[in-house]
Structure 1
Amino acid sequence: MITAQNWADAQQLWDFQQMHHELRPCSVAIGLGSHDLGVAEVAADLYQRGMVPLIVFTGATSRTTHERMPRGEAEHYRERAVDLGVPDSAILVETQARNTGENIRFSRSLLEERNLPVESVLLVSKPYEERRAYATTRKIWPEVDVVSVSTSMTLGEYVDSIQDSRLVFDMLVGAQQRLMIYPQQEFLIHQDIPTGVSEAYARLCSDGFTSRLVAAQ
């Protein structure tokens, strides 16, 4: 059972993940692989609005996606973007990355191999991973300007679109944990965590929303 307090705490984490960056044209969009095809739809919309000349979709599969995206997250993203009118020639696909750090490193390597200069990145992720994606990119690729964006929707709308509130809450908790522990492991930059967010995270952990937590090293 998911309580009203669980929803309030999840809302705290959801709001904290939103970066509210001002949208502007960038050298490339990088769509981070996941279970959410909305990432591909946002990237396609940004391309069609002239915000980027090129999209990189990055991602292999995970325990969440191996059944629903058997050809790999990046390939399913590419197919969705092409269905929405993006020319295949404007899409690069990176199919090996299995975490956010690899998404960025492997995408960067792919662009460098193609001799494509990058000054700015329009980073497209799930709504509850905007901040972690940004922090990871700033750590791994500090010389580029980063704009972090996602589908514009409320937590309730997002849960309705995924049709699995526990999965979304677990993912929110997992994203928040990584923001807290990964700076010590030098996976991403440090960011201050408001007290209310830390308390909401702790309550959700106590109530069992822990399936996406990683072991702290």
Structure 2
Amino acid sequence: MDNLDDNLKITRSTEIGEVIDYAIRVYEKHTLNDLTKERIREYAINVFEHSNNVHSYLDKLGISIKNFKEQYEIETPHDLAGEGNKLEWEVMRGFIYTEKEKENDSKKKGIFEEALKRHRIQMHHQMWNDDKSPDEWLKYGAIDAVCSLLEDRRHQGGSHTWKEIQDIINYEQRSEHQTYWMNWAVEEMKKVTPLLKNLEIWISSLLQGNNKSSEEKNNSSN
């Protein structure tokens, strides 16, 4: 993380308010005219909720990388710890931009690409991109990718239904092993998703119409 005097040591028991406060402190250290506290707050909430969602599905499906003790301890909670985590300014600043902003401003697109490069040093991304990785890591990466598409993210146009996610998986270009494991993840995640949550996903996607795009096009699950 950034070298603030009061660095937050994030664990799975860290509360959302602490994450928001930390993200805002990082922002205030690097204040830019094109970003606001409200956007930083929204970003921090999304990152926190995504981390919780990934861990929730991992727990429900009995998937663990605890056998890889050192990396597990360094990068847990998901996306909130370790080098390249989403609360580092270099990562946060780039990931906060919407698709439209990146399309209309080459500088912002460049900032995003640098943020993506930085975030991808995290072990779960390195393992996800290697078809020879242990199954635990590939399942982890697939769940991460599917969670990102289920969530209501401004920069990808909103949430997707299970059917829309399967279409994205099968029609967008990606590695064969990623297609396989993401299809596996969808089927397994559907089994442990409460009926009410499935209904919320469907309604949210319906209300958003055709404005959605796949985050997968740009980052293979950030």
Regarding TM over 0.5, the answer is no
Alignment TM-score, normalising by the size of structure 2: 0.31
| Higher helix content, 1 or 2 | 2
Higher RCO by CA contacts (8 Å cutoff, separation 6 or greater): 1
Alignment TM-score, normalising by the size of structure 1: 0.31
